[in-house]
Chains A and B, each alone.
Chain A
């Protein structure tokens, strides 16, 4: 109880104080060389200065001594069901998949439960932001980038319309138990592709009609939500896993002239050159997986990130769920064990996702002028042994207690 009230008090104090200087830390800016024995000055929630031990600050500035610890940018998970799903097997706790094929007006952010037990659990491992992704149908809705702290979803939201999630049609002959013939599957696929193009055409005509129309024009919420996609303000996040699907998705996106982020890329093969040429970024994951085919090399999934990196394609990691979101840094670490340069791995959970989701002016690196979204650790955050000691989001200290730490303390103390 005493412990609990201590944390409550600490977070209240921190909540009103987003100006401080943190001393004695090694700062890992990600965008530049590490700074040892640094003084990190935060003013009004923004990074004001990364200086040495002698950095001059006003006498009134609160000093946080953190000798020997390390400062890294908060990590960003580029695909989760954060706050949208609580217990995997219980339908009532899930708000991820809505009915219907075309629902661009749906917004993930408003279904993010800020009291979800997953949020503190995930951030305890150094993740400060996550993309909440709606699923189901063809256009599933708007994926929202959320801070993992806030009293309401509104306070959590960084970008409600970070991306429009599209599940690109594929030729599927079904599962082992219910097989569709190939011609039938191909027909289904072509129909879906046609309806997708029709939908975009409809959205374009709506745009024209709206521009031409006078008073009394009837707003359509779904087609309205498509406009930022057509104007390339919002990227379309396309789930496409294998070479052929990726090529088709890219060709389609070219035709429709939309901005694309590819997700769940797993076997891009020769499509990588195309992604490089078109400057299309990629969300990988999960890459701690079994090989796709029986006769693939045993490390097939582990080497996808290095393959993508070698092709010069920008990528970030996603956990595609909630349960293992806290293991995001370890996905990146496994990629390092199997050939990815360490610096790339670190960027793929910090800087690159910030760039891909269009928020790198605010987060993803420790730089002057950016939001003070960072973690303080006793080591490399990609190492499983490392403890995240403190976390700051927009300069305010965030509680690292969770359902898990509370149960730990409670039952460790059981006589």
Chain B
């Protein structure tokens, strides 16, 4: 409570600067050294072996500990009340921003795992899915408070088994028996859905262009009918909305790159991209990033050629690679997921750390704000007790915008308090409940 009061007070007056001292600082982009970081107004002000300590600064002593940039998970579904609008093959009119739940406990758990920025994606039920939302794990803030202000909007695409699932039954042929079928049922159909959608978007874009031109000439044209679904795709065509495409197999990855080439837009990231290592050359040529798992495989047919060396091969072939979790559990251990790439493919410490910091920041076009410890960037920082790439490391403190949002010590001391409060609430609930009839028939609970 005292801590909360302190934070509020601090926010009202100008927050005092913070200096994190004596840490092993893993900047990711500018090397690693024993030193300090000065934070002012939520931003990193100074980084170095020796720094000027501003007067009145709050000191955090991190002797024997490790400081790294806040972890960025480029693929997650936490804090969203719903994930898939799967009734249609193209659902670019819907978006995660409308279903965010700032009180989801998954936010706190991610925070406790050192994750400070999350790309919350629509699901993979359809070829063109809904819009994504980048958030910061500012636990305790309201819906507006968790949004990553100024983050470029994104959209989810999906290829392969998931988007074709509703177009197939148990047989090998598309169709065959399922009652409610939805096109597409094959990888051919998935491509068709995307091409048709962008064909429509081009026509729609041209209609608006012509309307605006005529209006500009002083004519009085009738405006085209607004189409919320195509609006988002026009933004993609104009480079204003980033495409994050779920994919597995090399053939479908190549297909999407070629469709994007055909319509003149870019794929910002390929997600999962488990066979990315087979077409790394083509991915690099297109300029797409790749966001993959460390070692998932064999859970379905399209994941049977997945290898834990995927990230390393793509890095070596010049692709911008990140590691993501797609899981509220795994996202708490992205540091050791990154560590695995040192074994699987021999990446260096810095390359491994980049996979969960600066690289996903670039993939979200947010590398001017986050992803490394450099002056001018957001003070999103994690303190670990051991080197974060070690199996034995755990998070001690997490700062976002220069404010402490997680402290392990505090979490532990608060446990008793929370337990007490829970008991009190349960007691209160019991008292407030009307007395139940003793011989009432034990009925079915409503489903």
Q: Which residues of A contact B (CB under 8 A)?
A: 86-90, 117-118, 121, 173, 176-179, 181-183, 288-291, 294-295, 297-299, 322-324, 326-327, 329-330, 333-334, 336-338, 382-387, 403-405, 407-408, 411-412, 414
Q: State how many angstroms separate the Cβ of B346 from the closest Cβ of chain A.
A: 9
Residues in B whose Cβ lies below 8 Å from that of A333: 391-392
For chain B, residues 102 to 156, give those with C-beta under 8 angstroms from any C-beta of chain A. 105, 108-109, 112
Does the CB pair B391–A294 fall under 8 Å? no
Can you name the residue of chain B whose Cβ is closest to the Cβ of A386? B343
Q: Which residue of B lies closest to A182 (CB)?
A: B442
Taking the nearest CB of chain A, how far is it from the CB of B125, in angstroms?
16
User: How many residues does chain B have at the interface if contact means C-beta atoms less than 8 Å apart?
Assistant: 50
Cβ of B392 and Cβ of A290 under 8 Å apart?
no
CA distance A178 to B447 in the complex (A): 7
A–B pairs, 10, beta carbons within 8 Å: A181-B442, A290-B109, A290-B328, A295-B418, A323-B298, A383-B390, A384-B339, A385-B342, A404-B307, A411-B277
Contact, CB under 8 Å: A289 / B422 = no
Given contacts A404-B307, A414-B281, could you give 8 more A-B pairs where the C-beta distance is less than 8 Å? A117-B304, A179-B447, A183-B442, A290-B328, A327-B295, A405-B309, A411-B278, A414-B278
Pair A87/B298 contact, Cβ less than 8 Å: yes
CB distance from B407 to the nearest CB of A (A): 12
The binding surface of chain A is classed by DSSP as loop
B276 to chain A, nearest CB (A): 10
- Interfacial chain A residues near B296, Cβ < 8 Å: 323
In the assembly, what is the distance between CA of A143 and CA of B109, in Å?
36
- Complex formed: what's the CA distance from A312 to B335 in Å? 31
Contact with A along B265-280 (1 / 0, CB 8 A): 0000000000001101
Chain B residues within an 8 Å CB radius of A298: 108-109, 112, 332, 411
Contacts of B299 in A (CB 8 A): 87-89, 323
Q: Which residues of B contact A121 (CB under 8 A)?
A: 297
| Residues B442 and A86 in contact, CB atoms below 8 Å apart | no
B64 nearest CB across to chain A (Å): 15
Q: Which of B300, B308, B391 is the one whose CB lies under 8 Å from A88?
A: B300
Closest to B111 in A: A298
B245 in the interface (beta carbon within 8 A):
no
CB distance from B436 to the nearest CB of A (A): 14
Residues of B within 8 A of A337 (CB): 386, 391-394
The 8 closest A-B pairs by CB, nearest first: A333-B391, A408-B309, A384-B339, A88-B299, A89-B300, A404-B307, A298-B112, A385-B342
Judge if B251 is at the interface, Cβ distance under 8 Å: no
Residue B30 CB within 8 A of the other chain: no
Give every chain B residue within 8 A of A407 (Cβ-Cβ). Answer: 277, 305, 307, 309
B422 touches A288 (CB 8 A): no
Contact A384 B298 (CB under 8 A): no
Whether B339 pairs with A385 at a CB distance below 8 angstroms is yes
A113 CB to nearest B CB, Å: 13
- Rounded to whole angstroms, the CA-CA distance of A297 and B406 in the bound complex is 13
> A residues within 8 A CB of B328?
290
Chain B at the A interface: SS class: loop
Q: Are A408 and B313 in contact (CB under 8 A)?
A: yes
Contact B313 A90 (CB under 8 A): no
> Among the interface residues B108, B316, B343, B443, which one has the most CB atoms of the partner chain A within 10 A?
B343
| Chain B residues positioned under 8 Å from A182 (CB to CB) | 442
In the docked arrangement, what's the CA distance between A385 and B299, Å? 24
Q: Contact between B109 and A330 (Cβ–Cβ < 8 Å)?
A: no
Give the shortest distance, in Å, between A17 (CB) and chain B (any CB): 28
- Per the bound structure, the CA–CA distance linking A173 and B295 in Å amounts to 35
- Complex interface: chain B residues within 8 A of A386 (CB): 343
- Distance in Å: Cβ of A125 to nearest Cβ of chain B: 9
Instruction: Answer yes or no: B301 CB below 8 A from chain A CBs.
Output: yes
- Is B182 interfacial (CB-CB < 8 Å)? no
> B75 on the interface (CB 8 Å rule)?
no
A68 to B23, CA, bound (A): 31
> Which chain A residues border B105 with CB–CB below 8 Å?
294-295
B340 at the interface (CB under 8 A from A): yes
- In the assembled complex, how far is the CB of residue B113 from the closest CB belonging to chain A, in whole angstroms? 8
Chain A residues with Cβ below 8 Å from B393 are 337
A411 vs B277: C-alpha distance in the bound complex, in angstroms?
A: 7
Question: Is B411 touching A338 in the complex (CB atoms < 8 A)?
Answer: no
Docked Cα-Cα span, A414 to B276, in Å, equals 13
- Cross-chain contact of B313 among A178, A179, A295, A411 (Cβ < 8 A): A411
A333 to B340, CA, bound (A): 13
Distance A298 CA – B418 CA, assembled complex (angstroms): 13
Q: Is the CB–CB distance between A88 and B442 below 8 Å?
A: no
Whether the pair A87, B300 counts as a contact (CB closer than 8 A) is yes
Q: Is B2 an interface residue (CB 8 A)?
A: no
Within the complex, the shortest CB–CB distance from A388 to chain B, in Å, comes to 9
* Mask: chain B, 428-447; 1 = CB below 8 Å from A; 0 = not: 00000000000000111101
Q: Check B313–A181 contact: CB distance below 8 A.
A: no
Are B445 and A181 interface neighbours, CB within 8 A?
yes
| B418 proximity list for chain A (CB < 8 A) | 295
The 8 Å CB contact of B336, one of A384, A387, A404, is A384
Q: How far is the CB of A356 from chain B (nearest CB, A)?
A: 23
Indicate if the CB atoms of B342 and A384 lie closer than 8 Å: yes
Contacts of A291 in B (CB 8 A): 109
Cβ distance B444 to chain A, nearest Cβ, rounded Å: 5
Check if B333 sits within 8 Å of A86, measured CB to CB: no
The answer to whether B49 has its CB under 8 Å from any CB of chain A is no
Q: Is the CB of A334 within 8 A of B300?
A: no
Task: Write out the residue numbers on chain B whose beta carbons fall within 8 Å of the beta carbon of A323.
Answer: 296-299
Residues of A within 8 A of B443 (CB): 181
- Report the separation of the CA atoms of residues A183 and B109 in the bound assembly, to the nearest whole angstrom: 36
* Residue of chain B at shortest CB distance from A383: B391
Tell me whether B298 and A385 are in contact (CB under 8 A): no
Chain B residues whose CB sits within 8 angstroms of the CB of A181 once the complex forms: 442-445
Q: Which residue of B lies closest to A339 (CB)?
A: B394
Task: State the CA gap A176–B445 with chains docked (Å).
Answer: 11
Q: Name the A residues within 8 Å of B340 (CB-CB).
A: 384-385
**Chain B residue with the shortest CB-CB distance to A342:** B392
CB distance from B408 to the nearest CB of A (A): 9
Complex: chain A residue closest to B330, CB-CB: A288
B17 to chain A, nearest CB (A): 29
Q: Distance in Å from the Cβ of B415 to the closest Cβ of chain A? A: 6
B207 at the interface (CB under 8 A from A): no
CB contacts (< 8 Å) of B309 on chain A: these are: 404-405, 407-408, 412
How far, in whole Å, are A290 and B112 apart by their CA atoms in the complex? 12
- Chain A residue with minimal CB distance to B250? A411
B42 within 8 A of A: no
CB-based nearest A residue for B281: A414
- In the complex, A332 Cα to B345 Cα: how many Å? 23
Residue of chain B at shortest CB distance from A91: B170
* Known A298-B112, A337-B391, A386-B343: A412·B313 in contact at CB below 8 Å: yes
Given the complex, which residues of A lie within 8 Å of B109, measured CB to CB?
A: 290-291, 298
Provide the residues of chain A in CB contact with B329, threshold 8 Å: 288-290
What A residues does B237 contact at CB under 8 A?
none
Q: How far is the CB of A77 from chain B (nearest CB, A)?
A: 15
Query: Among the listed A89, A173, A297, A404, which residue makes an inter-chain contact with B415, where contact means beta carbons less than 8 Å apart?
Result: A297
- 1/0 per residue, CB under 8 A from A, across B399-431: the answer is 000000000000110010010001000000000
A377 → chain B, closest Cβ, in Å? 11
Task: Report the separation of the CA atoms of residues A74 and B108 in the bound assembly, to the nearest whole angstrom.
Answer: 38
